[in-house]
Chains A and B, each alone.
Chain A
Amino acid sequence: MKEAASKESATLVEVEDLVIKFPVRGNKKNRFITPVDKVSLKIKKGEALALVGESGSGKTTIGRALVRLLKPTDGKILVDGEEINDYKGKSLAKYRQVAQMIFQDPFGSLNPVKTIESHVKFPLKKHQGFKGQELDQKITDLLVQVGLTPVNEIRKKYPHELSGGQRQRLAIARALAVNPQFIVADEPTSMLDVSIRAGILQLMNDLKQELDLSYLYITHDLASARYFGDRIMVLYGGKVMEIAESKELIKHPLNPYTQLLLSATPGSESQINLKDMTNEPPDLGEGRKGCPFVHRCPLASNECKEKMPALEEVSNGHFVACYHYDKEKIVF
């Protein structure tokens, strides 16, 4: 911690007004929806930003845009100072060495007919140019690093012979094989058993320290976001509702949606009864305006329906987008 303070870490990823639109077929009213609408964020070197939201909030879409698995409709993504929006072909292949992704489903993201070894061998050869003895050593090192031991036994196995936790470790090893600076981890533990999850989060945390990695950690679980994320960003209906340091956000949630999310999370001290809470999804359609949470928010006013409030810094590093937030008043 002290070290980080003395050398103010440089920004690695910078996103400005990211907009992503998806076409909708067969719906005359809407020709497209906007699952991500003007999202801006920054991730420093060696920092983990946790992106929290419910299904449909746009969190995975943002993650995919950042590793350029899809192309943003509008806005800028700068990684290490370079704009990556229009990368294709060779430049995109090169970008794969900077940014990697770990997917939610370790049962679907590995190739069932390839051995464990070949999952990491290919990127090591293709992107890093290792050969022969050196390549072999590198494979061993990587598998050891992610805790897939005994290596000699495991490297010849196939994915179906591994447990869920081991598969996710392999997915991490594969991401690390290109020596990336930035990893998008999309719900990496949500399909794993409870006793295994902690181990994966610990591993990701260790790698972050050792390799000075930056993460975008996508999750719906505030408790793990608080554990793994240095900062938490709360997303609803494709808009940023609140960003703050993890501890601060959990302690002093200001946006009503953050408060709702927090009080609904098991382990919160909230006693508020949500039995009749509706969960109408937010409007992502064409010509949307105003705050996406307006139809569920107890503080909603006409202003909220007309125009999305800007993100405003209320205290050091704590940003909220809400016209009516009140430090003293918790609505959920």
Chain B
Amino acid sequence: MEAKQPVLELENVSVAYDSQAGMVQAVNDVSLKIYENTIVGLIGESGSGKSTLGNAIMRLLKNSAVLTNGTIKVNGKDVYQMDKKELQKFRWSQMSMVFQSAMNALNPVLTIEAQILDVLLSHHKKMSKKEARAKAVELMEIVSIDPSHLKSYPHELSGGMRQRVVIAIAIALDPKLVIMDEPTTALDVVVQRSILDKIKEIQKVKKFAILFISHDFSLVSELASKVAIMYAGRFVEVTDSQSLKQAEGHHPYTQGLIHAIPHLTADEVSIEGIPGNPPDLVDLPSGCAYHPRCPFANERCRIERPAISKVNNREIECHLYDVERKEVVKS
């Protein structure tokens, strides 16, 4: 079987922040592949490193953060081997990003049209203004906004419409990879659903790959086909989203999350929180970073960081994961 080239390939990626307390590992040795026309979800709590990873892929890390190890390839090209000019061309035409605060990602003093034209014209040197305007109308139609709003300023649009504009700008150059960092977090559920349905529809046509970053477990497991669960900078589990319907057979943290979320339709409603608090990256627990909150943890978890076990389509980073029984076993 000939393997297709992944749109995004992360290999042993580590990102560290240079802080007063020394180097802080925000992303720690993660690997992942995403293929075209798929949505991969990245779930994590605040401080788990999920947004840092998103920024690292775009090579948008701020001064104090650096890629300390590993390679990031988009469409087979190493993002960190490009010179400035190459990167400028590559970014947005091959990979784009929908930012967390998309509500504020637009420039308040420019019309929507000006902002879309800016993206189009700076990448297509030969495109005429007229062509660009026609393309802008087309983009607005793709995201279901009346093109008359091209003349509007961001504050004249509702939050949901602004978000659609941001998505239109992200797909303006037909990128192969779109990173979406909590794109619907600030929106009402109905608006959220309508935007997600829209994204799925556009993806069917354009076939780009999506890395969907979110803290919303139920949302991501519904939307994505594959899900990476991040804890303290590491992927503790990468699994197909179907499997998340059951609590069994997962990493203890994933299990904990599944138990912590009230389900809408299940007959029995009981939930159970995960004890303790998310870890402080400056002072990470030894061994497996989840051990202080893990109900299964033993002596080994405190000392030694677990290796990744691969079973079928699942990768789990836990000492107690029994490959034969496909579940976490308390020893």
Contact = CB atoms under 8 A, between A and B. Distances in A.
A11 to B, nearest CB: 25
Nearest to B218: A266
Interface in B257-272: 257, 259-265, 269, 271-272
User: Contact size class for A?
Assistant: 35 or more
A164 to B, nearest CB: 8
B191 to A, nearest CB: 5
Contact of B265 (A165, A269, A274): A269
Interface string B187-210: 011111110011011000000000
Given A266-B222, A269-B265, A195 B45 contact: yes
Interface in A261-280: 261-269, 273-277, 279-280
Contact of A227 (B45, B191, B271, B274): B271
A54, A275, A280 interface centre (most CB from chain B within 10 Å): A275
B192 A166 contact: no
A223 B189 contact: no
A266 B193 CA distance: 8
Given A193-B45, A198-B272, A279-B194, A220 B278 contact: no
A50 B259 CA distance: 21
Interface in A212-271: 220-224, 226-227, 250, 260-269
B242 interface: no
B189 A196 contact: no
Contact of A276 (B194, B259, B271, B272): B194
Contacts of B278: 163, 193, 195-196
Given A268-B264, A273-B197, A276-B144, A194 B217 contact: yes
A153 B188 CA distance: 40
B313 interface: no
A276 B222 CA distance: 19
Contacts of B160: 279
A111 interface: no
Q: Interface residues of B toward A: which range? A: 35 or more
Contact of A277 (B46, B190, B263): B190
Contact of B269 (A194, A226, A269): A226
B247 interface: no
Nearest to A193: B45
B219 interface: yes
Interface string A182-223: 000000000001111111111000000000000000001111
A193 B46 contact: yes
A301 interface: no
A264 B265 contact: no
In this complex, the member of A194, A197, A260, A265 whose beta carbon has the largest number of chain B beta carbons within 10 angstroms is: A194
Contact of A202 (B46, B189, B264, B271): B271
A273 B222 CA distance: 14
Contacts of B215: 193-194
B216 interface: yes
Contact of B191 (A165, A198, A273, A279): A279
Given A163-B277, A277-B194, A227 B216 contact: no
Contacts of B201: 273, 275
A194 B197 contact: no
A36 B263 CA distance: 30
B249 interface: no
21 contacts: A55-B188, A163-B278, A193-B46, A194-B215, A194-B257, A195-B260, A196-B273, A196-B277, A198-B272, A199-B273, A200-B273, A201-B262, A222-B264, A223-B262, A227-B262, A262-B264, A267-B222, A274-B193, A275-B200, A279-B188, A279-B191
Given A198-B271, A227-B269, A227-B271, 16 more contacts: A194-B257, A195-B278, A196-B278, A199-B275, A201-B262, A223-B263, A264-B192, A264-B194, A266-B189, A267-B222, A267-B263, A269-B265, A274-B197, A277-B190, A279-B160, A279-B188
A54 B269 contact: no
B45 A250 contact: no
A55 B190 CA distance: 11
Nearest to A162: B277
Interface centre among B188, B216, B257 (most CB of A within 10 A): B188
B184 to A, nearest CB: 10
B189 A264 contact: yes
B194 A275 contact: yes
Contacts of B188: 54-55, 220, 279
A171 B218 CA distance: 27
Nearest to B271: A198
B94 to A, nearest CB: 26
Interface string B262-296: 11110001011111011000000000000000000
Contacts of A194: 45, 215-217, 257, 260-261
